[in-house]
Amino acid sequence: MTPATYSAREQLRDGRPVHIRALKPDDEAGMLAAIDHTNAESLRRRFFVTKRNFSANEKTFFLNVDFVRHVALVAVVEDEGRLTIIGGCRYIVTEPGEAEVAFVVIDAYQGQGIGTMLTSHLAGLAREAGLKQLAADVLPDNTAMRKVLGKCGFQTGRSVDPQVVHLTLALTSTAGTASGA
């Protein structure tokens, strides 16, 4: 399995199955629907502004993922008989060996462990790709994200921007390896 065909089965805390898979170019409608089901505060935490509309260039950027410098996963559940994207994450390589991560989970599914499983799968892919470090810039009041990243081994580092908390995960150990199937 390559990062572009990544696929793993997981369970939500309430036992429902969830599919963690690579983002596909035809996921645009599902991604936009997910944004519609994400509250303004969550969007501010993800984009640092309350962003709901995306330009054609932004959509291209978010959907045309090369799975080398830019890797994106989505979490999909069956909701009322329809496959629905309920969350996603990505890393973007910012310098050799290092990538920046970002996450979003739609309102109705937050607190079900999806953020944690996305982080674990993304970190596993980054490790297998040979990256040395993942980094995240998080707003200080974003307790949920800080908790998820902390659980996954990220540590608070020095931030150049006083408005954000900079967290990093060293990928040299074997913990948290991706286990897609």
Binding site for ligand COA (CB under 6 A): 42, 45-46, 102-105, 110-116, 136, 138, 142-145, 147-148
User: Residue 56 or 119: which CB sits closer to ligand COA?
Assistant: 119
**What is the Cα–Cα distance from 37 to 24, expressed in whole angstroms?**
20
Return the number of the residue (5 or 143) whose C-beta is nearest ligand COA: 143
- The nearer residue to ligand COA, 5 or 155, going by C-beta atoms, is 155
CB of 140 to ligand COA, least distance (A): 12
> Whole-number minimum distance, CB 174 to ligand COA, in Å?
22
Q: Which residue is nearest to ligand COA (CB)?
A: 115
C-beta closer to ligand COA: residue 128 or 137? 137
Q: Least distance in Å: CB of 81 to ligand COA?
A: 23
